[in-house]
Structure 1
Amino acid sequence: MPSTDAHSDTEWTVPADGDVWSHTTVETNGVELHAVTAGPEDGELVVLLHGFPEFWYAWHHQIPPLAEAGYRVVAPDMRGYNRSEKPDGVAAYHVDELVGDVVGLVRAFDRTSAHVVGHDWGGGVAWQTAIERPSVVDRLAVLNAPHPSAFERLLRSSPSQLRKSWYMFYFQLPWLPEFGLAWDDYAVLDRMLGEGTVRPDAFTRTDIQRYKTALAQPGARTATVNYYRALVRHAIKLSLTAGGVGDRSVHVPTLLVWGEQDAALDVRLSEGLEEWVPDLRVERLPDASHWVQFDAPERVTDLLVDYLV
């Protein structure tokens, strides 16, 4: 069972325990994950998976309303992020390990399945969990994260998406990506979060500082970049084998929410998914960016609450 986390939150500059959420530590798949929990313990479990370069706080707009709707909400720092354990080596961030973390997290809360919601990298892990372990996923909700087959198809056919994905290849370099993330007091986060949204005040200065503090934790920069290193190395390995990737069909009800002003992911990635996801609902938000749950927090929350019922 999860254990209460007594770590002082002041040094992490993130909201402490209170009436809405609590901090805890969960052992899963051989690692310890820090997580925030909220809502009644007997409520249906909702697991919220954040993206890069975020942490559990990516869902701070959605956690209270989901809890108030009666769900038991768990928002972990994914392995390598913020206060969670940061195992060494690229192989520790292979997508199968990340899926294992989700499965173990569900079991740690004495459930056999949960609603799984993910944004960005968390969305990628959510997709893969539904593909590999459909019995663990009641309903799937993904925000601005492409189905893996759709992403591969567009990369092959669209030079514009290939250009937008330049950073994935940059992250394959040794040490330089880590150096760049920390350069000039993590100025990259000012650009990504402060300038990368449709709504100018989507991220407050306090929000951005919290993200900087999380990314500055010892080992966090290398761990978070290792997600991309593991992804590309695995893709290269698959391309050199005859086995292929296997069936990537998703056989659970799925909601895809897509901010159309995403600078890194083409809106076409939200189209033509029925061949892999037959039970699919797509909601495109024309006035939202990649950071859709910050640009349109109320709309995203309403969609999630309505869909998970």
Structure 2
Amino acid sequence: MPRLSTFERHGLVFEVRDTGPQDGIPVVLLHGFPQTSASWGSVAELLNGQGFRTLAPDQRGYTPGALPRRRRDYRLSELIADAVALIETADTGPVHLVGHDWGAAVAWGAAAARPDLVRTLTAVSVPHPLAFIQSMSRSTQAFKSWYMLFFQLPWIPELLLSNESSFTRSLRGTGQSAQNAARDMADLHRLGSARTAVNWYRGMPLTQPSVLKRKVVVPTLQVWSDGDTAVGRKGHELSQRFVSGPWELRTLEGVSHWIPDEAPEILTQLLTEHFRKHTTNA
């Protein structure tokens, strides 16, 4: 299989980190906010060492060729279609689909919409979007998610993200390391993508619920960490009702929201166990 450095959809060009054995079983890694594919670096290296090929795209809003400015361009249906386009362009057959944070929301939608393209689903840190919404009234999730309402404001969130000291301090307060916070801030500044990163949240109210109503039929693993300040456990527990295939929830103790950066070895172990449990040739 040839290496994939970019893929296109509707005139947008997305950069991709394609690493590992070219004939390895493919694993697609979707990043979250406010990160790029760099956040998967350690996990990808570990997976590559075990014979898996990893495809980690920089999603829209985080890559130079795909920085649309309108809120509507960040509806979940568009984000899901981007992920599907990557898998179809790679033309490797079904993939193990893994997403962290916002990448998990995209992965949930892609796995439900196109199970023919997905071997297994792993959602890291973020539950099924509808379960997440339900958890708002059944737990403290609404208090944890205050920033989502804040991000609907014009201009002010962009100012926060553009201020290196204040935003780095915010990231550090959620458990992110100083080194990784600096990396993510540098990427935002390099791309000038503060607005487009926030637009992932601004596109939420424009997403049609029907996008998420189909159940996930592929084997699904959820990974949550009890040090997560943004997402509580309840939404993960409620997610099972949106999965008709095999489902499992694993909890990491003493780990923050930033699981791929903070606990890559443990996460990779869970991923490979999940892949091999549900795929005879993985």
TM-score by length of structure 1 reads 0.82
How do 1:19-58 and structure 2 match up within 5 A? Answer: 24-58=5-39
Find the aligned partners of 2:77 and 2:207 in 1 and give their Cα distance: 11
Q: Is the 2:32–2:104 Cα contact (8 Å) retained in structure 1?
A: yes
Whichever residue aligns with residue 220 of structure 2, its letter is T
| CA-CA distance at 1:204 after TM superposition | 4.6
Separation in 1 of the partners of 2:2 and 2:89? Answer: 7
Q: Which residue of 2 aligns with 1:258?
A: 224
Question: C-alpha displacement at 1:82, in angstroms?
Answer: 4.4
Cα offset for 1:174? Answer: 1.1
Structure 1 CA distance, aligned partners of 2:177 and 2:129?
A: 28
Which aligned pairs between 1:198-213 and structure 2 lie closer than 5 A? 203-205=177-179, 207-213=180-186
| Residue matched to 1:294 | 261
1:306 matched to 2:280? The reply is: no
- Counterparts of 1:286 and 1:180 in 2: how far apart (Å)? 30
Structure 1's unaligned 5+ residue stretches are 5-23, 239-243
Report the equivalent of 1:187. 166
Q: Quote the residue 2:279 is aligned against.
A: none
Structure 2 match to 1:92: 73
- 1:57-85 CA-to-partner distances (Å, cap 9, x unmatched) read 11111011111211111111111114452
Cα distance in 2, alignment partners of residues 28 and 72 from structure 1: 22
- 1:109-132: per-residue Cα shift (whole Å, max 9, x none)? 123421110000000000111122
CA pair 224-62 structure 1, distance change in 2 beyond 3 A: same
Bigger radius of gyration: 1
Structure 2 CA distance for aligned equivalents of residues 71 and 86 of structure 1:
30
Give the direction of change, closer, same or farther, for the CA distance of 1:306–1:246 in structure 2 (3 Å limit): closer
Out of 270, 276, 285, the position equivalent to 2:242 is: 276
Runs of 4+ off more than 6 Å? 1-4
In 1, distance between residues paired with 2:240 and 2:158?
38
User: What do you get for the CA RMSD once the two structures are aligned?
Assistant: 2.1
* 1:270 partner letter: H
How far off is 1:274 after superposition? 2.7
Gapped regions of structure 2 (runs ≥ 5): 277-282
Distance 2:201 2:2 in 1: 29
CA distance in 1, matches of 2:64, 2:3: 14
Q: Which has the higher helix share?
A: 2
34-43 or 270-279: which moved more?
270-279
SS at 1:281's partner residue? strand
The answer to whether the 8 A contact 2:215-2:243 is kept is yes
- TM-score, structure 2 normalization: 0.90
- Percent identical residues: 36
The letter for the 1-side match of 2:221 is L
SS at 1:74 equivalent: strand
